[in-house]
Amino acid sequence: MINQIIILPIILPLIFAVTMLFFWRSVAVHRYINLFGTLVSLVVSIIILVQVISEGIISLQVGSWQAPFGISIVADLLSTVMVVITAVIGFATALYSIGTIDPDREKYLYYPLLQFLLMGINGAFLTGDIFNLYVWFEVMLISSFVLLVLGGTRGQFEGAIKYVTLNLLSSAIFLAAVGILYGVAGTLNMADLARRIPFVEQKELLTVVSVLFMIAFGVKAAIFPLFFWLPASYHTPPVAVSAIFAGLLTKVGVYALIRFFTTIFVHDIGFTHNLLLISAVLTMLTGVLGAAAQSDFRKILSFHIISQIGYMILGLALFSPLAIAGAIFYIIHHIIVKTNLFFVSGVVDKMKGSFDLNKLGGVYKFYPLLGLLFLIPALSLAGIPPLSGFWAKFVVIKAGLEVQEYFVIGIALLVGLLTLFSMTKIWNEVFWKDDPRGYENHLDESYKQITSTKKYLVIAPIVFLALITIIIGFYAEPFFKYANDAAEQLINSSVYINSVLGMR
């Protein structure tokens, strides 16, 4: 009965969200339930990870309907690792939200929405059925739509229009692709598909379907040329929302791409994975060049999400076990680091009242510790050893050298350098140079009224995530081993198929 536990990451957020809805007038209760809920989810997901590492893939047939017919919930190493990271980010965001979200947003059900979002994300990671994946995507999107516009400023609405329209378009494409795939292969269970696809006769139609899926997930993952909604919307909501979006949402798209183009669609690697490779290179380049032009703290970070997505897709497109392990390692590292950078940008905004680099300055002089907390994720993002980003880039690039894609590797290294340039720019403008208003410590009026408890609550998740970055950096060996095992499970899909369909 131990396999029932893998439903918990999906059902627990729902239970906590409903509990909050019953106390919907008392916001203080929401905060504690939310914090408690994310903590419980974290513990549960770690227990599942330990189980999966020791016993292999765990699968659950919901409602006791047998595998290809019913809905399967499958926890393989990749899914479980993603669920654990989601729980970590959920917990950090819960802490950060208590310190930063204004009472108006809290009253309009901010915390239940956060739990619904986590439920959608966990569902997308754990499901073993493509149509069910569509459903979880929609759960995730609806919650993210509401979180994005909560508060209702003009910028939020303008960003949300683009975000909503493009994501609905991608959902329509996803749905059409699901329909055609069912017509071609006669099943929507991922394991069953992996087994049947080699015997499908209409290979051309299959390639068309795979490209449709690539476009649908590409919009969600923000790969070139489908990323325009991201820099238009991610800098508009409150920082806590930006941070959890930046960390998790695009990575669900990347996860779906990795799952589909390793386990299911490997019938025409010459075409599909080359397409991914071209897209990955252009994603890296446009992202980092877009960032170079910006002078807004959060916009620079938003563009860097795009360029970093390029590295993950690059790992997938190179399609060797090492490269996919690199992509998985990259996701783990990136989620932690990117969320943390957004958190830091929020703290700077609370102090100085702006995200505009031209108006900021002098933070290091009065708050050297915050400078250090920025430098850890920033240098990690750029790939400076011995932080986590170095190992992530190192593995992807080593995998690229092994398959002799020298041009692509050259671009990847160049993008790393430009990332460092961007991070130095932020460092110079925000932390190093003097405040344009003079040498004294200029603080925003509202900052002086924030209680010190709240300040600790805001700093705590930043320190927590920075520590994880350092740990991944210095003890990269075990993390890389599990990334490698996860890649192994993806490429040798027979273990996955046997676990889900119950064959020996």
Partner 1 sequence: MMFSVILSTASRYLLPLLLIFSFFLLLRGHNEPGGGFVGGLVAAAAYALYFIANGVYEAEKLLKAEPIKIISLGLLIAILSTIPSIIIGQNFMTGVWLDINFPVIGKIGTPLFFDVGVYLLVLGITLKIIFSLAEEDK
Partner 2 sequence: MNFLLAIIIGILYGAGTYMILRRSLVKVILGLIFLGHAANLLIFTIGRLTKGAPAFIPQGAETLAEPYADPLPQALILTAIVIGFGVQAFAIVLFKRTYQTVGTDDLDKMKSTDELK
Which residue from 39, 168, 403, 470 is in contact with partner 2, where contact means CB under 8 A? Answer: 168
Q: Near partner 2 by CB under 8 A, which window of 25-33, 143-151, 361-369, 382-390?
A: 143-151
Partner from partner 2, partner 1, none binding residue 182, C-beta < 5-8 Å depending on class: partner 2
What's the CA gap between 351 and 346, in Å, rounded?
Answer: 9
Q: Does 154 bind partner 2 (CB under 8 A)?
A: yes
Q: Does 394 bind partner 2 (CB under 8 A)?
A: no
- 105 with 238: CB under 8 angstroms? yes
Element (H, E) at 157: helix 154-185
Element (H, E) at 91: helix 77-100
In the range 179-198, which residues lie near partner 2 by CB under 8 A?
179-180, 182-183, 188
Instruction: Return the number of the residue (11 or 53) whose C-beta is nearest partner 1.
Output: 11
Q: Does 172 bind partner 2 (CB under 8 A)?
A: yes
Q: Indicate the pairing of strand 58-61 with strand 72-75.
A: antiparallel
Amino acid occupying residue 439: Y
Smallest gap from residue 22 Cβ to partner 2 (A): 22
Per the rule left: phi > 0, alpha: psi between -120 and 50, beta: everything else, 380 is: alpha
Instruction: Return the number of the residue (22 or 439) whose C-beta is nearest partner 1.
Output: 22
Q: Near partner 2 by CB under 8 A, which window of 13-21, 290-298, 393-401, 471-479?
A: 290-298
Which residue from 105, 220, 235, 393 is in contact with partner 2, where contact means CB under 8 A? Answer: 235
What's the CA gap between 77 and 411, in Å, rounded?
Answer: 31
Partner from partner 1, partner 2, none binding residue 294, C-beta < 5-8 Å depending on class: partner 2
User: Residue 59: what are its φ and ψ, rounded to 5°?
Assistant: -130, 155
Q: Does 240 bind partner 2 (CB under 8 A)?
A: no
- 141 with 104: CB under 8 angstroms? no
Instruction: Return the number of the residue (138 or 444) whose C-beta is nearest partner 2.
Output: 138
**Can you give the binding site for partner 1, defined by CB under 8 A?**
1, 4, 7, 11, 14-15, 17-18, 21-22, 24, 60-64
Smallest gap from residue 22 Cβ to partner 1 (A): 5
Q: Does 157 bind partner 2 (CB under 8 A)?
A: yes
Quick one: DSSP state of residue 74? E
Q: Alpha helix locations (H) across 190-296?
A: 190-196, 203-221, 229-233, 239-244, 250-259, 269-293
Q: Near partner 2 by CB under 8 A, which window of 291-299, 381-389, 454-462, 494-502?
A: 291-299
Burial 201-218 (b: 16+ CB within 10 A, else e): eeeeebbebbbbbbebbb
Binding mask 73-112 for partner 2 (x = CB under 8 A): ----------------------------------------
Q: Near partner 2 by CB under 8 A, which window of 97-105, 128-136, 322-330, 397-405?
A: 128-136
- 499 with 6: CB under 8 angstroms? no
Smallest gap from residue 62 Cβ to partner 1 (A): 5
Q: Does 292 bind partner 2 (CB under 8 A)?
A: no
Q: Does 200 bind partner 2 (CB under 8 A)?
A: no
Residue 60: helix, strand or coil by DSSP? strand
Q: Near partner 2 by CB under 8 A, which window of 168-176, 268-276, 380-388, 451-459?
A: 168-176
Residue 436: helix, strand or coil by DSSP? coil
Element (H, E) at 347: helix 321-352
- Helices 476-491 and 77-100: angle between axes, nearest 10 degrees: 130
Smallest gap from residue 60 Cβ to partner 1 (A): 6
Partner from partner 1, partner 2, none binding residue 60, C-beta < 5-8 Å depending on class: partner 1
Taking residue 428's Cβ as centre, other Cβ atoms within 10 Å add up to 12
Q: Does 171 bind partner 2 (CB under 8 A)?
A: yes
Q: Which residues contact 298 (CB under 8 A, 6 or more apart)?
A: 234, 235, 239, 242, 342, 345, 355
Beta bridge partners of 189: 129
Query: What is the C-alpha end-to-end distance of the chain, expressed in Å?
Result: 19
Smallest gap from residue 4 Cβ to partner 1 (A): 6
List the one residue out of 292, 419, 298, 422 whose CA is nearest residue 348: 298
Partner from partner 2, partner 1, none binding residue 63, C-beta < 5-8 Å depending on class: partner 1
Smallest gap from residue 104 Cβ to partner 2 (A): 15
Smallest gap from residue 495 Cβ to partner 1 (A): 21
Which residue from 42, 164, 206, 305 is in contact with partner 2, where contact means CB under 8 A? Answer: 164
Binding site for partner 2 (CB under 8 A): 131, 134-135, 138, 141-142, 145-146, 149, 152-155, 157-161, 164-165, 168-169, 171-173, 175-176, 178-180, 182-183, 188, 231-233, 235-236, 293-296, 356
